[in-house]
Amino acid sequence: MIVIKVKDYGEMKFNLDYKSAPNTCKNFVSLARKGFYNGVIFHRVIKNFMIQGGDPTGTGMGGPGYSIKGEFRSNGFKNDLKHDRGVISMARSFMPNSAGSQFFVMHKTAPHLDGEYAAFGTMESGFDVLDAIACTRTNRSDRPLKDIVIETVEVIDEPEEEPEIIQK
């Protein structure tokens, strides 16, 4: 389980799905244990779609300095986890193996993402926090007008394994 603590909003708890996306789970847990997400913002928020964070630069262009293989169907991986409300998934560019640290949480179900992005967990609690973040005011680039800061990502009872990475 991971617990994303968001300043002034509360906590969102997720159960990770190692069966659907094992390396993606290892990557997220590894980054969280290193404190990578501490102080990072949700830089992209689209009500009735998703909230996105995990970029240390806050621009939507940053990451950890490496990428991982995209664990989703169109990239040759069996991952049947659907992009339903509360699912956490890895953000990436148009390149299938470009995910690094950025992630998004589904505010509403989006079937068009199924098989195209590496979903890796489901929300257990914190839907009120998700709704509050998703309903925040944003500019025309979908950036919140006020920073929404991840204080910490706590890891509870997850294996300590490093992910397989693709060096940049």
Domain ranges of the chain: 2-158
State how far the Cα of 18 lies from the Cα of 121, in Å rounded to an integer.
8
> What confidence tens digit (pLDDT) does each residue in 143-154 have?
999 999 999 999
What is the pLDDT averaged over residues 95-99? 97
Close Cβ partners of 87 (under 8 Å, ≥ 6 residues apart): 81, 105, 106, 119, 121, 122, 123
- pLDDT band, very low/low/confident/very high, at 168 (cuts 50, 70, 90): low
Query: What tens digit of pLDDT does each residue of 17-50 get?
Result: 999 999 999 999 999 999 999 999 999 999 999 9
Distance CA 73, CA 67 (A): 18
Bridge partner list, 68: 99
**Which tokens sit at 33?**
């244990």
3 — phi, psi (to 5°)? -125, 115
pLDDT at 167: 72
Residues 83-90: what's their mean pLDDT?
Answer: 99
- 139-165: average pLDDT: 96
**Which of 36, 47, 58 has its CA nearest to residue 148?**
58
Query: Distance between CA 5 and CA 10 in Å, rounded?
Result: 6
The percentage of residues in the chain with a pLDDT greater than 90, rounded to a whole number, is: 97
Query: Is 2.40.100.10 the CATH number for 2-158?
Result: yes
Looking at residue 147, what is its pLDDT? 98
Whether the predicted pLDDT of 3 surpasses 70: yes
